[in-house]
Structure 1
Amino acid sequence: MRVTLLNTFHRSGGAAVAANRLHQAFLQHGLDSTLLTGAPTQQEKRLEAPSVVSLADSFWGDQLAFARFVGERLYFLPYEKNKAVRFHFSPAKFGADLASHPAVQQADVLHLHWINFGFLSLNGLDDLLRLGKPVVWTLHDTWPFTGGCHYPRGCEQFKTHCHQCPYLRKPGQHDLAYRIFRRKTELLKGARIHFTPPSRWMQQEAQSGTLLRDFPFTVIPNPVDQTVFAPQPPDAAAKLPELSADRPRLLFGSANTTDPRKGFAFFVEALRILKQHYQGKEPEIILFGKSNAAYLADVPYPVRSLGVLRTEEAVAAAYNAADALVVPSLEDNLPNTIAEALSCGTPVVGFNTGGIPEMIDHQQNGYLASAGSAASLAQGLAWLLNHADPARLRQQARLSAERRYSGAVITRQFNELYHSFL
């Protein structure tokens, strides 16, 4: 059995990380897997393996991939509400001809992941579905069942038929979101697709809408390489410069701390409450990812920014150096950061929203705070910082990750699903 996974990028972004890890887990456990990607970054080009096939495999291929991306953004430009939503809505107007690609033609099963930014258009998706091959689609965000947005942020129009879209400059009864939703309705009729959201929350969101309500679903989490993301000796912090030796450490990691959906503002407010109302050791705050100095000015504790960490080993060292990862996301599927931290034996404090409560066992491997409550988040931070047996907490974190996110466990689940088609 040959499986071809399709994702816009090889390693850039959460969906790419998840797709690549799944591909590697398949190879390690004997599945014939190929990962087909769009335009890789320069760093990705240096890292590609023989089983990873890129559309941008030459100078002209690279230029075409970039042109599709630019065409996609230019098409949306007259519609966008403002710059803040520019990359949060994908019209899927432009894409490559993937249906005729050898990696697609040879596959017994096609496994879609994140396909936007000029990788696969709606017409291209229609062509793929018309091949008649069984298709699995992992839902990394809500785009497959909305009129174009990647997260609706409270809008529920997708439950009936998208229109009056809050992402658009001129929302209306028959706006761009309405037309995209109608096109998706047409191309999905009779399609042979099995959806595999990583979280029960994403399944519930998808099945609450009209687009995917009647399709089969199986919840399968994303895998984590638990040889890389693993507990390290207590001196792991030595690998990270300028960290305090006498303070507990709270870690916040995000591709961009300024993204409101990641809830960094709630973290800062929780730290203020912690400072004013709770006794105990004062923590040091560690950040990784893109950050803005203006966002850090109000943090009442010392802050160390590690910047963008380029390797998984560096990320694993950050988790190991921390006493807890803090994830105050307001809307999230099944964050890779939580699975990675737990695999390193690092407990997690996060909001009880999205797929996060499926990962954090309250007061067992972390703490679930009330969604959107900085006061509840502060209470969770205080509970963690004053825990009587942190070693046991770390042990429980690792055991929960082994049970849920190991490559062997996830490969077995997908293998059984693929064989059910064939």
Structure 2
Amino acid sequence: MSIKVLHINTTNRGGAGIAALRLHTALLNSGVKSAFISKGFTVNFNDKIVKDTTFLYKKPTILNRLIVRLFPSKRRKLIRTFGRIKTNIESEIVSLPVSLYKLHNHPLVQEADVINLHWIGDFIDYKSFFKKVSKPIVFTLHDMNPFKGIFHYNIDVNKNLNFKYWEKAMYNLKKESLKYVSNGAIVSPSQWLLDEALKVDIFSNFKKHTVIQNSIEIKPDKALATKESSRIDFGLLEGENVILFISNALEIERKGFKEAKQALENIREPITLLTIGKGEIMIENPYVKVKSLGFIRDNDKISAAYRAADVLLLPSLEDNLPNTMLEAFANGTPVISFKVGGMVEHIETRVNGMLVNEINSEALKQTIIEFFNKKDSFDFKQIRTYADQKFSNISQASKYIMLYNQLLN
């Protein structure tokens, strides 16, 4: 009898949502009954997308509205208060471990053998969920939020010291709630993020800690667009030096936007910067041409952008195991990154990319110049082979299945 694994993620989009759905699909392909819950997208254990009544808006009666207004619950008051103050927080994102959703009562939670949590900010109510769900829990880390309070990365903690009360209070709430977990495991896609998590004792009840990389579909060579055809599609010339930069919002500080911009503004060699994401980057340098593709959902078009580029620029200041790095490798595209986070564990200089030893724009500029002096030495087939070896969905699924069985037995 196949085990039933339920994945919970706040949304089905963004880096964590995409990674969680890839794992869900990998498990289905390996014969595991897998289901998925998010605010706007639910898949049941029969692999059917369903209309989830849990999240349907139900118009309250006048009496109910009056009661809520006059006698709000502690959770509701906390959410309201946080909603008012969070506009003053300078950060990429903040979230609460408090929610009005009663996910512990969800039919798929009741049906599951194992609960696999992913990015659950503003979705799971920690106190009620962990107190009332006694099933094995696997917590897959996608950023630092599970072992912080309201913030998701150190960079935002350090620049918002005025909100340390909220950070500490929500951390303590999480810590107390997680004490109810008697059979749990922590999974991190990178050793870096696992090491960061284990620096604090919030997961002391979770007896298993392991690294399992996220997966990426490796298509056969014949299914990929050629570099030549991809460049034609994007109006690029065959001989152009093309850098690809991708971010949900292009000007996110943690993604290294400032360092990348300064580096490109000081380069004196012709370069085309191809960007995917919300917003537009302005580079004040006549040597650098910026071609913005905007926000793209079409996976084939995104793949073509990787193929058209000579290199993916991934100058994150903090990052776990970015999907963009995996996607670049899967398309045979090398990656330039600072020597931080999960990138260090997979980028080998002059083999599948280049690591920048110092986190500053000058070092990044010099690495970009060095890359284009040696760009013909990178073998796209070798890079794709590495992706297949390290990030295959078959390997990921087998490691998770082994972990699930260990918890159940």
Same fold (TM over 0.5): yes
Aligned mates of 2:177, 2:369 — CA distance in 1: 51
The answer to whether the 8 Å contact 1:237/1:317 transfers is yes
Residues 61 and 386 of structure 1: is their aligned pair in 2 closer, same or farther, counting only changes over 3 Å?
farther
Preserved CA contact (<8 Å) 1:250 1:323: yes
Find the counterpart in structure 2 of residue 201 from structure 1. 192
Corresponding residue number in structure 1 for 2:113? 108
Aligned residue number for residue 158 of structure 1 = none
Q: Distance in 2 between matches of 1:348 and 1:388?
A: 11
**Residue 299 of structure 1: CA displacement?**
7.3
Provide the residue aligned with 2:71 in structure 1.
Answer: none
- Indicate the residue corresponding to 1:226 in structure 2: 218
The answer on 1:92 being equivalent to 2:97 is: yes
Q: Is residue 2:116 matched to residue 1:126?
A: no
- Alpha-carbon distance in structure 2 between the residues aligned to 1:228 and 1:37: 31
Q: For structure 1, list consecutive stretches of 5 or more residues without a partner in the other structure.
A: 64-69, 156-164
Offset of residue 410 of structure 1: 0.6
Is contact 1:23-1:34 (8 Å) kept?
yes
| 1:367 paired residue among 347, 351, 354 | 354
Deviation at 1:61, TM superposition (A): 6.4
Q: Deviations over 1:140-176 (max 9, x none)?
A: 1111111221112175xxxxxxxxx8536554xxx22
Aligned residue in 2 for 1:146: 148
Q: Aligned to 2:313, what secondary structure does the other structure show?
A: strand
1:196 alignment partner, SS class: strand
Whether 1:21 and 2:22 are equivalent positions in the alignment is yes
How many residue pairs end up in the alignment? 388
1:378 aligns with 2:396: no
Contact preservation (8 Å) 1:55, 1:62: no
Give structure 1 regions of 4+ aligned residues with deviation exceeding 6 angstroms.
Answer: 70-73
The answer (yes or no) to whether the contact 1:141–1:333 under 8 Å persists in 2 is yes
Q: Deviations over 1:183-238 (max 9, x none)?
A: 22212225122010110000010001121256321101111122289753232425
- Maintained 8 Å contact 2:89/2:160: no
Structure 1 CA distance, aligned partners of 2:191 and 2:382? 22
Q: 1:60 to 1:317 in 2, by over 3 A?
A: same
In structure 2, do the counterparts of structure 1 residues 31 and 62 end up closer, same or farther at CA, with 3 Å as the change threshold? farther
Summarize the alignment of residues 4-19 of structure 1 with structure 2, pairs less than 5 Å apart: 4-10=6-12, 12-19=13-20
2 CA distance for matches of 1:62 and 1:98?
A: 20
Alignment of 1:170-319 (within 5 A): 171=164, 175-191=165-181, 192-212=183-203, 215=206, 216-227=208-219, 231-238=224-231, 240-275=233-268, 282-293=270-281, 295-297=282-284, 300-319=287-306
Q: How is 1:19-58 mapped onto 2 (pairs within 5 angstroms)?
A: 19-40=20-41, 50-53=47-50, 55=52
Taking only the aligned residue pairs, the percentage that are identical comes to: 31
**Contact 2:11-2:17 at 8 Å conserved across structures:** yes
CA deviation after TM superposition for structure 1 residue 96, in Å = 1.3
What secondary structure, in the 3-state scheme, does the structure 2 residue paired with 1:99 have? helix
In 1, Cα distance between the equivalents of 2:243 and 2:204?
A: 40
Aligned equivalents of 1:214, 1:83: Cα separation in 2: 32
SS state at 1:250 partner: strand
Task: Give the conservation status (yes or no) of the 8 Å contact 1:362–1:368.
Answer: yes
- Residues 330-363 of structure 1: CA deviation (Å, up to 9, x unaligned): 0111100000000100000111111111121122
Displacement of 1:78 in angstroms is 3.9
Distance across 1 between alignment mates of 2:125 and 2:189: 23
Runs (5+) with no aligned partner, structure 2: 61-75
Change (3 A) 1:62 1:123: farther
* 1:67-116 per-position Cα deviation (integer Å, ceiling 9, x unaligned): xxx9886431344372533x622122224111121111111111000111
For 2:396 and 2:19, how far apart are their aligned partners in 1? 12
Correspondence for 1:394: 380
1:411 corresponds, among 397, 403, 407, to 397
Residue 308 to residue 72, structure 1, CA distance change in 2 (3 Å) = farther
Cα distance in structure 2, aligned partners of 1:257 and 1:58: 31
